[in-house]
A and B are shown apart, each in its own frame.
Chain A
Amino acid sequence: MQFGMAILPRLIFRSLPMSSLPDLVCPAGSLPALKAAVDNGADTVYLGYKNDTNARNFAGLNFDAKTMAEGIRYAHAKGREVLMAINTFPQAGRTADWHAAVDGAVDQGVDAIILADIGLLDYATRKHPQQRLHLSVQGSATSYEAINFCQREFGIRRAVLPRVLTLAQVEHVIKNTTVEIEVFGFGSLCVMNEGRCWLSSYACGESPNTVGACSPAKYVKWDKKPGTMETRLNGILIDRFGDDEPAGYPTLCKGRFEVQGETYYALEEPTSLNVLELLPDIIKIGVRAIKVEGRQRSPTYVAQVTRTLRAALDAARDSAERFHVKPAWQAELAKVSEGSQATLGAYNRPWR
């Protein structure tokens, strides 16, 4: 009875014609993180197995069959959806591991599987024609032609867009496809060559596509010296921080390099994407879901970010015209941001 009352408001809003509010899709790297997402207002959580079939394959993170079953039960009992990320690329001679992951996801009863590899999409749609499939950001589809191809061939129902498009381009994609569109709303930014990035492999021979992790921890060294901290990735000096400088993740794309005599963030500064200011526009153009990055983060982060975006989305639903970003929301998101700074990313670029 008690939880019946709790899900009632959401069901009512969903059934209203004006309810084009995007789903809030939140990360879960552990069972407490999943519960934090659900308890703080996520419509959907996404998770992965404890192996290299997903792109957050970090030591001690993610779900085994038992915790996954418990997590799915918890989310479904509260009327929320669970997506399984199988978003790495099957490695030579080990295709069976990825097929087993897809079969396992179907057995677990997830609401959708997020896939990047075309061969795996083909396998999933043939073996499990009833299973709902999403195209991962790692699938690197930035045009409606690519998305419609995956719809025609594999029946995908949703595509997650890489974080390189302007809002006008996102709208253009939405107008030219019946596939639901999911965009990133908050989280660490990288060089955003999603699904095609080999920078990590350049430094240490391993990358998200192959082992499911960018800059794996075993190659990372934080070296503290008086007044500075040095970050090394497989021996390569990535960055050197002064004691009062904010830090970022130890990836090549967020390193400071000497270019023509100048040392600076040649590719990108450590930063997080934050779309709060654009929420009314994102809702207006018909985005179906907003994704939060960060399966590698703690349950605390998941609770903080989910709670904040839930409040902002609900405020935007109540009145798009009067929507304004509350300083408290910005402060909460700025605090948890990489490098302690946030950006609107490509969304509001005037140029393309």
Chain B
Amino acid sequence: MNGNFTIPKFKLPDFIASLGQKLPQWPHALVLVGALNAALKMKLLPESELAMLEDKLFRVRVLDTGGEASYTYRNGLFRPVFRPEREPDLAFAANLSAFLQLLARQEDPDTLFFNRELEITGDTELGLIVKNMLDAVEWPKLPRLPLASN
């Protein structure tokens, strides 16, 4: 996908996490939910698997930024949950670099899990459904810019 650019493994300094925890968390949730709904609109996510996400509560925590986002899937849309009133059904936690490497398909989630860089807690089967659903997405190819090629 990205032959020329690789995301290095990094961890932000600890003070950023303590700073991040004091900042409002809703922007993360909105960005995440916006991206997921965009994927929905492009019909990239299979309906049979989406049905299994109905009303489940998800939490994504970025350890080294202190950022956290909770969201759910209901009536065909991902929706942010700003004040979750219960433990999530499925929670992911990792440093920012690990999430970026996953999104860019630069590292495999099992690899990050084996290396203890990605934490998955809650309903393990739900986690597998989400992982396999995202793995099966054929992301549209970005147009090749002359600068980006060799």
- Which A residues fall within an 8 A CB radius of B? 29-33, 58-61, 67, 216-218, 220-224, 229, 241, 243-248, 270, 296-301, 304, 335-340
A301/B108 contact (C-beta < 8 A), A218-B125, A222-B124, A337-B114 known: yes
> Do B108 and A217 have beta carbons less than 8 Å apart?
no
Q: Is B31 an interface residue (CB 8 A)?
A: no
Chain B residues within an 8 Å CB radius of A222: 119-121, 124
Give the interface centre of B52, B106, B108, B127 by most chain A CB atoms within 10 Å. Answer: B108
Q: How far is the CA of A28 from the CA of B129 in the complex (A)?
A: 16
Q: Is B19 an interface residue (CB 8 A)?
A: no
A298/B124 contact (C-beta < 8 A), A30-B135, A247-B116 known: no
Question: Across chains A and B, which 5 residue pairs bring their CB atoms closest together, nearest first?
Answer: A60-B132, A301-B108, A217-B125, A30-B136, A220-B124
Q: Is B14 an interface residue (CB 8 A)?
A: no
Q: Closest CB of chain A to B141's CB: distance in Å?
A: 11
Chain B residues within an 8 Å CB radius of A31: 136, 138
Number of interface residues of B (CB under 8 A): 29
A-B pair count, CB < 8 Å, reads: 93
Chain A residues within an 8 Å CB radius of B116: 229, 241, 243-247
> Do A298 and B109 have beta carbons less than 8 Å apart?
yes
Q: 5 new A-B pairs (CB below 8 Å) besides A216-B125, A217-B124, A298-B105?
A: A29-B135, A61-B132, A241-B116, A336-B108, A340-B114
> Do A32 and B113 have beta carbons less than 8 Å apart?
no
Q: How far is the CA of A246 from the CA of B49 in the complex (A)?
A: 30
> Do B128 and A58 have beta carbons less than 8 Å apart?
yes
Q: How far is the CA of A214 from the CA of B136 in the complex (A)?
A: 21
Out of B105, B110, B113, B124, name the residue touching A299 (CB < 8 Å): B105
Chain B residues within an 8 Å CB radius of A336: 108, 110-111
Q: Which residue in chain A gives the minimum CB-CB distance to B122?
A: A222
Q: Is B41 an interface residue (CB 8 A)?
A: no
Interface members, chain B 95-150 (any A CB < 8 Å): 105-111, 113-116, 119-121, 124-125, 127-133, 135-138
Chain B residues within an 8 Å CB radius of A29: 132, 135
> Do A221 and B124 have beta carbons less than 8 Å apart?
yes
Q: Secondary structure of the B side of the interface?
A: helix
Chain A residues within an 8 Å CB radius of B125: 59, 216-218, 220
Q: Which residue in chain B gives the minimum CB-CB distance to A244?
A: B116
Chain B residues within an 8 Å CB radius of A339: 114
Chain B residues within an 8 Å CB radius of A217: 124-125, 127-128
Chain A residues within an 8 Å CB radius of B110: 296-298, 301, 336, 338
Q: Closest CB of chain A to B2's CB: distance in Å?
A: 11
Q: How far is the CA of A296 from the CA of B132 in the complex (A)?
A: 8
Q: How far is the CA of A299 from the CA of B134 in the complex (A)?
A: 10
Q: How far is the CA of A340 from the CA of B130 in the complex (A)?
A: 24
Out of A60, A61, A224, A338, name the residue touching B119 (CB < 8 Å): A224
Q: Closest CB of chain A to B59's CB: distance in Å?
A: 13
Query: What are 20 inter-chain pairs, A to B, with CB distance below 8 A?
Result: A29-B135, A30-B136, A31-B138, A32-B135, A32-B136, A58-B132, A59-B49, A60-B128, A217-B124, A217-B127, A229-B119, A245-B116, A248-B114, A298-B131, A300-B107, A300-B108, A304-B108, A335-B115, A336-B110, A337-B114
> Do A60 and B131 have beta carbons less than 8 Å apart?
yes
Chain A residues within an 8 Å CB radius of B132: 29-30, 58-61
Q: How far is the CA of A299 from the CA of B107 in the complex (A)?
A: 9
Give the interface centre of B116, B124, B125, B132 by most chain A CB atoms within 10 Å. Answer: B124
Q: How far is the CA of A273 from the CA of B121 in the complex (A)?
A: 28
Q: How far is the CA of A61 from the CA of B107 in the complex (A)?
A: 18
Out of B107, B115, B135, name the residue touching A246 (CB < 8 Å): B115
A301/B129 contact (C-beta < 8 A), A32-B136, A32-B137, A243-B116 known: no
Q: Closest CB of chain A to B144's CB: distance in Å?
A: 15
Chain B residues within an 8 Å CB radius of A216: 125
Q: Which residue in chain A gives the minimum CB-CB distance to B120?
A: A222
Q: Closest CB of chain B to A324's CB: distance in Å?
A: 25
Q: Which residue in chain B gives the minimum CB-CB distance to A243?
A: B116
Q: Closest CB of chain B to A173's CB: distance in Å?
A: 32
Q: Closest CB of chain A to B67's CB: distance in Å?
A: 18
Q: Which residue in chain A gives the minimum CB-CB distance to B108?
A: A301
